[in-house]
Chains A and B, each alone.
Chain A
Amino acid sequence: MMYQIPMESLDRLLAAIAAQQKLYLPTDNTAGEAVYTEWTQGAALSKKLNTLRSAKDFFFPQIQNMAKFRREGKKIEVIDDRAEADDFCIFGVRACDVRSFDVLDNVFLADPVDTWYETRRKHATVISLACTRPGETCFCHTFGIDAAKAGGDIQCWETKDTFYLEPLTEKGQALADALIAADGELLTQCGADQEALVEKETERIHKILEKLPLYDLKAEDNRERELELFRSKKWKELSSHCLGCGACTFVCPTCQCFDIEDFNNGETVQRYRCWDSCMYHDFTLMAAGTPRLTQTERFRQRFMHKLVYYPKAHDGLFSCVGCGRCLRKCPIHMNIVKVMETLKEEKE
């Protein structure tokens, strides 16, 4: 089942969703970057290719409070103040970020389940949006992702005059039904003619993708080459300019390494987890030293994880979705595309 709404009524659609549950969507901030913000009346959906930060924040926030402790003399009290998340909706998620949720699910929903992640995931409805204008740093196609059919609970397309919605899951259909129940005139069911227009739109997007510089980049199954790639001499050269700043990790939708720390406010001790990066020198540092002595080993770890270790552990799924954020943000212009191409040369 597919629905449509005229583009000029998009505000009405957003308001209707926001009436059902908290709604987040990409809007432009004062610096001109797209960021997810909570919808308020008049909020305009960003026209940017994608958000500066990935959508992982919704399920795996940069800082997550875990538990509080109170220490008095020899006694310790544990305060478990976890709470169920409220229902919320993320609107306008691109195909790459939608796939990143699968990558994160494999980690956080594996036994034992991460309850903070799980409750947010359970209460979220993901409304994706096809990429009207995929860009030169995009390579989701490399990982079998279709920018024109973005997935999630409801997938959408925006054309010049019409906005199309297609619920894909029970959760998505439930939201569509609730919207229709609240306002019978909001969504119009699509006929065969309109569905053909959506098909035309996906073809138009595919044509753009084919012309992009990274369209031909192939992701090779390197699971059998783990030790050979690990021992490759190329890592030294590839990592030689890496500053170890961790920017790639922070903008990456699939990077999920975290640290656990305590903050003592005098009254209680707040235990929290926060994003961490394998690019940092103290990431694996122990009293006895570290197994990753230089930036070369740390750099190698990040890319081996995305291209070999993660696929090995998860049935060939890559831990890269080709969103291109690291291509745009790395201060020394090193990135996973260069790594993939260099490792390919190694084979030839």
Chain B
Amino acid sequence: MEKEALIPRIGVVTDIRRDTPDVKTFRVVGTDGNKLFTHIPGQCAMLSIPGVGEAMFSITSSPTLEEYMEFSIKKCGCLTAWLHQMEVGQEVLVRGPYGNGFPVEGAFRGKDLLFIAGGIGLAPLHSVINYCLAHRENYGHIDVVYGSRSMDDLVDLEEIKRDWIGAPDMDVYLTIDREQEGWDGHVGFVPTYVQELGFSTDKTAVLCGPPIMIHFTLEGLKKLGFADNQVFTTLEMRMKCGIGKCGRCNVGDKFVCKDGPVFSFDQLGELPDEY
């Protein structure tokens, strides 16, 4: 019989990093040691452990990494708790990639890009930011505004300091919700910080984070003069199949797993407000 999309392949975890008290990043390759599949930044994959569960995660690593894929995963349920206690060498089930991904070769080309993330919301943007950095000549100035509850909750802080801060034609603005010892950076919520920074409206903005952050940041961007078609986000919904058949992740007639997860706000404006 022909290949069945819903039957997963085996992946091996080759590296585990603790990013924050509740976020770990897992490096996965196929059993032959090669990358399982190629993807577009913003696409997702289903990870599962037999008898524990299966869930959709965004692929955090950039497609430009040819040896492996990475997933930054926050511990928040059965499966994620299991993934957090596993050790290097553990096999996991993987299927994908799913979804449309960011228009890195379309609407983003040649644009100044403004990435705004909150908490674990950096995970899906991580892939696209690194993709843009790897193809630097195709994109304009890159701004990243990233905030979390505390210093310890900033995902990939080491990598941000090492690779992003100080990179040419790139500005990184970090913020945490409350004052903290050892933190001399900005303190305050992401939406307010974006307002204070006041970006020019010729940029293309990409938002990812908790719904409340997205709501207020979008409002702020509009106040600054951004149009809906200049702002992109990536949605999160319960999913079982990942291929538009199980009927669970629809927003109107669009399935987040297949037609999304990336939407511009003018696309979302035409859909029922239920996500």
A32 at the interface (CB under 8 A from B): no
CA distance A288 to B55 in the complex (A): 14
Binary interface encoding of chain B residues 83-111 relative to chain A, with 1 for a CB under 8 A from any of its CBs, else 0: 00011011111000000000000000000
Query: What residues of chain A lie closer than 8 Å to B245, measured between beta carbons?
Result: 107-108, 110, 114, 256, 258
A212 to B183 Cα, complex, angstroms: 75
Segment 206-255 of A: residues with Cβ below 8 Å from B: 226-227, 230
Bitwise, A270-313 to B at CB < 8 A (1) or not (0) is 01010010100001111110111000010001001100111011
Contact of A262 among B9, B52, B236, B237 (CB under 8 A): B52
The closest CB in chain B to the CB of A269 belongs to B50
- Asked whether A284 lies within 8 Å of B238 as measured between CB atoms, the reply is yes
Are A291 and B237 in contact, with the CB atoms below 8 A? yes
Taking a contact as CB atoms under 8 Å apart, the answer to whether A258 and B240 are in contact is: yes
Contacts of A112 in B (CB 8 A): 5, 243
Residue of A nearest to B90 (CB): A74
Per-residue A-contact encoding for B185-196, CB less than 8 Å = 1, 0 else: 000000000000
Question: B197 in the interface, Cβ–Cβ < 8 Å?
Answer: no
Q: Which of chain B's residues have a CB closer than 8 A to the CB of A119?
A: 1
Q: Is B224 an interface residue (CB 8 A)?
A: no
- Interface pair A283/B248, CB less than 8 Å apart: yes
Once the chains are docked, how many angstroms separate the CA of A312 from the CA of B244?
Answer: 15
- Measured CB to CB, the nearest residue on chain A to B89 is A74
Number of A-B contacts (CB under 8 A): 137
Q: Is the CB of A227 within 8 A of B93?
A: no
Q: Is the CB of A287 within 8 A of B76?
A: yes
Task: Give the interface residue-count category, chain B.
Answer: 35 or more
Main SS of the interface on chain A? Answer: mixed
Assess whether B252 is interfacial by the CB under 8 Å rule. yes
Residues of B within 8 A of A312 (CB): 252-253
Given A75-B91, A80-B7, A291-B237, A264-B247 contact (CB < 8 Å): no
Stretch from A65-73, A129-137, A144-152, A156-164 that touches the partner: A65-73
A260:B246 contact, CB within 8 angstroms = yes
**A113 B91 Cβ-Cβ under 8 A:** no
The 8 A CB mask of B1-38 against A (1 = contact, 0 = none) is 11111111110000000000000000000000000000
Given known pairs A257-B248, A258-B246, the reply for A264 and B1 (CB within 8 Å) is: no
A183 contacts partner chain B, Cβ-Cβ < 8 Å: no
Of the candidates A74, A82, A256, A259, the one whose C-beta lies within 8 Å of that of B4 is A82
Contact A262 B53 (CB under 8 A): yes
Whether a CB of chain B sits under 8 angstroms from the CB of A115 is yes
Whether the pair B6, A260 counts as a contact (CB closer than 8 A) is yes
Closest to A83 in B: B1
Question: Does chain A have a CB within 8 A of B198?
Answer: no
> Is A115's CB under 8 angstroms from B2's CB?
yes
Q: How many residues of chain A get a CB closer than 8 Å to chain B's CBs?
A: 55
Cβ of B182 under 8 Å from chain A: no
CB distance from A268 to the nearest CB of B (A): 8
Q: Are B50 and A76 in contact (CB under 8 A)?
A: yes
Closest partner residue, chain B, to A107 (CB atom): B245
Which of B54, B89, B247 is most buried by chain A, counting CB atoms within 10 A of its CB? B247
Please determine whether A226 and B1 come into contact, CB atoms closer than 8 angstroms. Answer: no
Chain B, residues 50-63, CB within 8 Å of chain A (1/0): the string is 11111000000000
B272 on interface, CB distance cutoff 8 Å: yes
Chain A contacts with B in 157-213, Cβ cutoff 8 A: none
List the 8 closest pairs (A to B, CB-CB), nearest first.
A257-B247, A69-B50, A269-B50, A112-B5, A312-B253, A287-B76, A309-B253, A264-B51
Residues of B within 8 A of A (CB): 1-10, 49-54, 76-77, 80, 86-87, 89-93, 210-211, 236-238, 240-241, 243-250, 252-253, 270, 272-275
15 contacts between A and B (CB under 8 A): A74-B86, A76-B49, A78-B8, A80-B7, A84-B1, A114-B4, A116-B4, A226-B252, A230-B272, A258-B241, A262-B50, A276-B240, A283-B248, A288-B76, A288-B210
